[in-house]
Amino acid sequence: MKNKSETKIALIGGGPACATAAVQFLRFGHEVTLITKEIGGTVRNANLIENLIGFPEGIRGWEYVNLIKSQLLNNKIPYIEDTVVSVEFKNSIYIIKTKDSEIHADFLLVGTGSVPRKLDIEGEEEAFQRNRLYYEVYNGKKFSADKEIIIVGSGDVAYDYALNLLDSSLNIIIVQRTNKTKSLPILQQRVSNHKKIRILKNRKPIEIITNDDKITLVTKMDNKLFPIEVDVIFVAIGREPNIQFLSNELKAEYENPSERSKLYFIGDAKKGNYRQISIAMGDGMKAAMEIDKRLSLEEHTDGTHSQIW
């Protein structure tokens, strides 16, 4: 039987967006519950975060995640460490079901980040199930030591993955499906400085073959097949908002939000948002201040929603 609980404000997600909102709600004196499988979100993938003010030398993704954990712990933010299975809205209450719990909330913030896009080619699922293919670098890095690696992608994430895996891997091949490189010039420059990293362009992946000791990515160029045999494959071809657990009614609200709704999407889960930590944090802060203002009006109290820090 699921453990049932009630809270004024529920936050789903453990990244910078929900963490920021949770800390601010605590400062406002509101009751909150944070629900997440693990703290950090996709920040854990980052090799080096350089555009976050306050860290002049930049900061590793895992180091920043540890700071988030420490701040939540120091502020005694209550959170449930579990996977959200479904969310629905009934009788003016948001009902959040996890594997082990059921939480009822008046307000809901969804900061569940994004999920990676797949190649959708033959053999991909088998390779993933056999732990030979990964979409998140933090999941596969420990399995990549002294291995030959393929990274499929041409954007910032693919190039950042390559730099993240550089010290532990033997060799890295970045496979781009087109001739166009979409990553930042600074990342392209850093990748080009390393002989261990090779870039293949205009290679369309069409099949993955997993053997006992090797994995082969079959690519196509100019109607010719080019198989590439390595040990591990990472796929970084884009991401999309992680909202699959929402009811159809709430998904419709995601597409057409209502001003009177008590449902807020923040960070990478927000429709059309840029995937940046500073934007996610701003989303979390803004949502917290807007909810505090609404609660202040409802309860006829003088809220502190206009404070700047």
Where in the chain are the domains? 3-115+239-299, 118-235
Q: CB under 8 Å to 160, separation ≥6 — which residues?
A: 45, 46, 47, 48, 183, 187
Return the half-sphere exposure (C-beta side, CA atoms, 13 A cut-off) of residue 59: 17
Dihedral of alpha carbons 43, 69, 251, 246, sign = positive
What class has domain 3-115+239-299?
alpha beta
Q: Could you tell me the pTM of the whole model?
A: 0.89
Q: Give the type of residue at 39.
A: I
What is the Cα–Cα distance from 281 to 64, expressed in whole angstroms? 13
Residues forming beta bridges with residue 87, ordered by sequence position: 96, 246
pLDDT confidence bin for 261, thresholds 50/70/90: very high
Say if 3-115+239-299 and 118-235 have the same CATH topology.
yes
What is the Cα–Cα distance from 27 to 48, expressed in whole angstroms? 30
Q: If you compute the radius of gyration of the chain from its CA atoms, what whole number of angstroms results?
A: 21
Q: How far is CA 187 from CA 89, 176, 194, in A?
A: 43, 15, 12
pLDDT confidence bin for 2, thresholds 50/70/90: confident
Residue 243: what pLDDT? 96
Share of the chain above pLDDT 90, in %: 88
pLDDT digits (tens, 9 = 90+) for 200-219: 999 999 999 999 899 999 99
Q: Is 118-235 a domain of CATH 3.50.50.60?
A: yes
Residue 300: what pLDDT? 58
Q: Name the H helices within 183-227.
A: 185-192
For the cut 80, the answer to whether the pLDDT of residue 303 exceeds it is: no
pLDDT digits (tens, 9 = 90+) for 116-166: 999 999 999 999 999 999 999 999 999 999 999 999 999 999 999 999 999
12 burial via Cβ count (<10 Å: 0-12, 13-18, 19+):
buried
Residue with token string 């071809």: 237
What is the Cα–Cα distance from 174 to 166, expressed in whole angstroms? 12
Q: Compute how many other C-beta atoms are within 10 angstroms of the C-beta atom of residue 301.
A: 9
Q: How far is CA 284 from the centre of its chain?
A: 15
